[in-house]
């Protein structure tokens, strides 16, 4: 089966060209969302657009109208109902140099459609192997939680390994807090309690992280969002990763330590499955 | 006198379009140099290209050949010998999603020519007013010193003020070290000793910072590159800013405290003047 090449729209117009004066390029001055799309519509679109709006407010970035975005998303998925959509919003092109931006400058929004990756049911069932990253994430509360375009730390962390058997690296912050994977959030289970790192100093507050946190509450699972450190990771009995595409992915090995895929992970996978619309996960 | 609009070349071809799949946009996965050009050639080009090469090595980024860059720079300045050139090098376009990059992928290089800004001799003579930024810079030694494209912190710091009488904000790091301005490096004078912040955890190691550090040695001035904190700033008798465009710019007021423009600042301005090729500075 052939997969179609990525398609692109800039400000609603089909095409893959962006102005070299765009502040998204110059400064990473923008945000993005990566959305799993099934049956012609993104999973959790409401949550994605809410997070985007919150990020725009924090960056004082004008936001493209939600109705416009929804119409363009629908159009992008018409002839390709199963795809990954990446939506990028930047502060737009600036003809003058300098960090200062014109207030209310029209943003640029870019929609990219990637083929749905091949299913990886084994990772979903048997879990993945994970390493510990050497890079320590810088801490800045003003950027924490946002899915902004400054992602050099993730690029460098991903350069640390090339072994295809390793699915992800877990990263700590400069102050020693466990934060996340390079492209996923992380959950730990210890003595029946589920925990995920607080993301008030760095990290991206993932959509699937919020969905799973909500599910934990519905399932009556004791759940905490708090500062976690290396000792918490070492003592964890179950570990899993989340992101908008992979759903819940169990970890079966972390830094050489084997882990069983435990009951809490399985219970949350089962609770999540109906919300994923028939496609439990896909490799990110 | 009319100033020409910005001109752009992408990989040596005249034009202002960049692929929306470029990793410079997606991740800020790249570097830049801003160069003051006089008489058809960038000031300190050798130093700019050295810093670019060092940054490419740290990011494992393929570098465009230096001879090619020099030829394109010369061509860009042929009909506009006095200009500001911004050179951006990114890891290029990636058709697939994800932080992992193909090793040896061809980089994209972008050359932008901006008009030389109107002279501002008064700032050079009388000094500028500076505020303290509220934003604290995140610390990551793997990114420190490089002029990379992740500049959201500078964008947010620049959003903190709109008073045109304030020229710059001085920024501290998350651990409380004085680092730099949003677009300049900073030097302090105390008891005849010149000091500038060590940039091993964050900040950009500016070309003019290195030039001025070298001049201090030649002038027999006691000069230290070390950790500086708020108390050092409060006790400073002279303060000045540097960048590749403005040269040395004295600070006459910091957070409401008036400062005299002292003998060491003037001495370094005099020593620097011959190296600036007749244009002492320009507003950045």
Burial grade of A237 (CB within 10 A; 0-12, 13-18, 19 or more): middle
- Are B32 and A26 a contacting pair at CB < 8 A? yes
Q: State the smallest CA–CA distance between residue A19 and chain B in angstroms.
A: 5
**Domain spans in chain B, listed from the N-terminal domain onward:** 7-115, 121-276
Q: Which residues of B touch A184 (CB under 8 A)?
A: none
Q: Which residues of B touch A150 (CB under 8 A)?
A: 27-28, 150-153
The answer to whether the CB of B240 falls within 8 A of the CB of B260 is no
The answer to whether the CB of A212 falls within 8 A of the CB of A272 is yes
Q: Does residue B1 surpass a pLDDT of 60?
A: no
Q: Secondary structure of chain A: what % helix, strand, coil (to 5)?
A: 25, 35, 40
Q: Which residues of B touch A155 (CB under 8 A)?
A: 23, 27, 29, 59, 91, 99, 101
Cβ density class A175-195: b for 16+ within 10 Å, e for less: bebbbbbbbbbbbbbbeeebb
CB pairs under 8 A between A and B: 195
A213: tokens are: 């946190």
- Are A150 and B152 a contacting pair at CB < 8 A? yes
Q: State the smallest CA–CA distance between residue B211 and chain A in angstroms.
A: 22
Q: Return d(Cα B31, Cα B24) in angstroms, integer.
A: 9
Q: Does residue A69 surpass a pLDDT of 80?
A: yes
Q: State the smallest CA–CA distance between residue B185 and chain A in angstroms.
A: 15
B68: tokens are: 């090619």
What pLDDT, on a 0 to 100 scale, did the predictor assign at position B281?
A: 46
Q: Which residues of B touch A284 (CB under 8 A)?
A: 97-98
Q: Count Cβ atoms below 10 Å from residue B129 Cβ, excluding itself.
A: 18
**CA of A24: which chain B residue's CA is closest?**
B25
A80: tokens are: 């390709």
**CA of B34: which chain A residue's CA is closest?**
A97
Q: Which residues of A touch B18 (CB under 8 A)?
A: 17-20, 22, 25
The answer to whether the CB of A6 falls within 8 A of the CB of A108 is no
- Please state the pTM of the whole predicted model: 0.95
What is the pLDDT of chain A when averaged over all its residues?
Answer: 94
- Are B20 and A8 a contacting pair at CB < 8 A? yes
Given B20, B143, B156, which is nearest A110 (Cβ)?
Answer: B20
The mean pLDDT value for A67-76 works out to 97
What pLDDT, on a 0 to 100 scale, did the predictor assign at position B277?
A: 81
Inter-CA distances, B180 with A108, A141, B227, B264, B282, Å: 30, 19, 12, 19, 19
Q: Which residues of B touch A88 (CB under 8 A)?
A: 20, 25-26
- Are A151 and B8 a contacting pair at CB < 8 A? no
- Are A19 and B19 a contacting pair at CB < 8 A? no
User: For A94-107, how does the pLDDT look when each residue is reduced to its tens digit (9 = 90+)?
Assistant: 988 999 987 777 99
A115-119, B3-7, B89-93, B221-225: range with lowest mean pLDDT:
B3-7
Q: Which residues of A touch B83 (CB under 8 A)?
A: none
B174: tokens are: 């998350």
- Are A155 and B20 a contacting pair at CB < 8 A? no
Architecture per CATH, domain B7-115, reads as: 2-Layer Sandwich (3.30)
Q: What is the CA radius of gyration of chain B?
A: 19
The mean pLDDT value for A174-196 works out to 98
What pLDDT, on a 0 to 100 scale, did the predictor assign at position A4?
A: 60
What are the backbone dihedrals phi and psi of residue B177, each rounded to the nearest 5 degrees, phi first? Answer: -90, 140
A168-172, A277-281, B122-126: range with lowest mean pLDDT:
A277-281
What is the CATH code of the structural domain delimited by A121-276?
A: 3.20.10.10
Q: Return d(Cα B12, Cα B4) in angstroms, integer.
A: 20
Q: State the smallest CA–CA distance between residue B61 and chain A in angstroms.
A: 11
The mean pLDDT value for B155-167 works out to 97
Q: Does residue B280 surpass a pLDDT of 60?
A: no
What pLDDT, on a 0 to 100 scale, did the predictor assign at position B271?
A: 97
What pLDDT, on a 0 to 100 scale, did the predictor assign at position A278?
A: 61
User: For A37-59, how does the pLDDT look when each residue is reduced to its tens digit (9 = 90+)?
Assistant: 999 999 999 999 999 999 999 99
Scanning B43-149, the segments in alpha helix (DSSP H) are 45-59, 66-76, 121-126
Q: Count Cβ atoms below 10 Å from residue B252 Cβ, excluding itself.
A: 18
**CA of A5: which chain B residue's CA is closest?**
B95
Inter-CA distances, B53 with A20, A26, B19, B200, B212, Å: 22, 19, 24, 18, 21
- Are B88 and A25 a contacting pair at CB < 8 A? yes
Inter-CA distances, B123 with B116, B157, B168, Å: 16, 21, 12
Q: Return d(Cα A239, Cα A198) in angstroms, integer.
A: 16
The answer to whether the CB of B268 falls within 8 A of the CB of B216 is yes
Alpha carbon B142 to its chain centroid, in Å, reads 18
- Are B150 and A150 a contacting pair at CB < 8 A? yes
Task: Spell out the residues 6+ positions from residue A246 whose beta carbon is closer than 8 angstroms to its own.
Answer: A123, A124, A184, A208, A281, A282, A283, A284
Q: State the smallest CA–CA distance between residue B273 and chain A in angstroms.
A: 24
- Are A27 and B142 a contacting pair at CB < 8 A? no
Given B5, B88, B95, which is nearest A95 (Cβ)?
Answer: B5
* Of A69, A71, A63, A52, residue with least CA distance to A106: A63
Beta bridge partners of A223: A194
* Of B88, B89, B96, B20, residue with least CA distance to B61: B89
- Are B28 and A90 a contacting pair at CB < 8 A? no
Q: Does residue A283 surpass a pLDDT of 50?
A: no
Q: Count Cβ atoms below 10 Å from residue A32 Cβ, excluding itself.
A: 23
**CA of B22: which chain A residue's CA is closest?**
A25
Q: State the smallest CA–CA distance between residue B20 and chain A in angstroms.
A: 5
Q: State the smallest CA–CA distance between residue B27 and chain A in angstroms.
A: 5
- The residue of B32, B152, B245 whose CB has the most chain A CBs within 10 angstroms, and thus the best one to mutate to test that interface, is B152
- Are B20 and A26 a contacting pair at CB < 8 A? no
- Are A28 and B32 a contacting pair at CB < 8 A? no
- Are A28 and B150 a contacting pair at CB < 8 A? yes
Confidence band (pLDDT; 50, 70, 90) for B4? low
- Are B182 and A5 a contacting pair at CB < 8 A? no
- Are B99 and A148 a contacting pair at CB < 8 A? no
Inter-CA distances, A209 with A38, A45, A183, Å: 20, 15, 12
* Of B214, B218, B212, residue with least CA distance to B240: B212
* Of B74, B136, B57, residue with least CA distance to B111: B74
Task: Spell out the residues 6+ positions from residue B282 whose beta carbon is closer than 8 angstroms to its own.
Answer: B36, B84, B116, B117, B118, B119, B120, B245, B246
Confidence band (pLDDT; 50, 70, 90) for B284? very low
Burial grade of B192 (CB within 10 A; 0-12, 13-18, 19 or more): exposed
Q: Return d(Cα A91, Cα A110) in angstroms, integer.
A: 12
- Are B29 and A151 a contacting pair at CB < 8 A? yes
Q: Return d(Cα B97, Cα A154) in angstroms, integer.
A: 13
Determine what percent of chain A is predicted with pLDDT higher than 90.
Answer: 89
What are the backbone dihedrals phi and psi of residue B34, each rounded to the nearest 5 degrees, phi first? Answer: -115, 120
Q: Return d(Cα A22, Cα A19) in angstroms, integer.
A: 6
User: For A6-20, how does the pLDDT look when each residue is reduced to its tens digit (9 = 90+)?
Assistant: 899 999 999 999 999
Q: State the smallest CA–CA distance between residue A247 and chain B in angstroms.
A: 16
């Amino acid at each position: 089966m052939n997969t179609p090449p990525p398609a692109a729209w800039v400000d609603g117009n089909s095409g893959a060209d962006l102005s070299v004066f765009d502040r998204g390029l110059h400064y990473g001055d923008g945000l993005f969302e990566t959305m799993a799309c099934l049956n012609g519509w993104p999973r959790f679109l409401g949550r994605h657009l809410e997070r985007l709006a919150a990020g725009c407010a924090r960056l004082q970035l004008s936001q493209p109208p939600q109705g416009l975005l929804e119409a363009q998303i629908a159009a992008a998925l018409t002839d390709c109902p199963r795809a990954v959509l990446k939506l990028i919003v930047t502060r737009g092109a600036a003809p003058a140099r300098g960090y200062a931006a014109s207030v209310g400058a029209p943003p640029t929004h870019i929609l990219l459609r990637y083929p749905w990756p091949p299913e990886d049911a084994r990772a979903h069932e048997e879990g993945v192997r994970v390493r510990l990253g050497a890079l320590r994430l810088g801490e800045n509360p003003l950027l924490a939680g946002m899915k902004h375009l400054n992602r050099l730390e993730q690029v460098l962390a991903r350069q640390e390994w090339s072994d295809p058997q390793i699915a992800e690296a877990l990263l700590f912050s400069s102050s020693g807090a466990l934060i996340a994977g390079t492209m996923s959030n992380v959950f730990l289970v210890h003595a029946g309690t589920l925990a995920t790192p607080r993301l008030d100093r760095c990290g991206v507050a993932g959509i699937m992280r919020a969905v799973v946190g909500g599910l934990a509450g519905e399932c009556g699972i004791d759940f905490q969002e708090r500062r976690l450190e290396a000792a918490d990771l070492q003592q964890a009995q179950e570990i899993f990763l989340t992101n908008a595409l992979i759903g819940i992915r169990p970890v079966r090995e972390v830094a050489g330590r084997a882990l069983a895929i435990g009951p809490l992970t399985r219970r949350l996978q089962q609770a999540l499955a109906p919300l994923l619309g028939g496609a439990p996960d896909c490799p990110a």
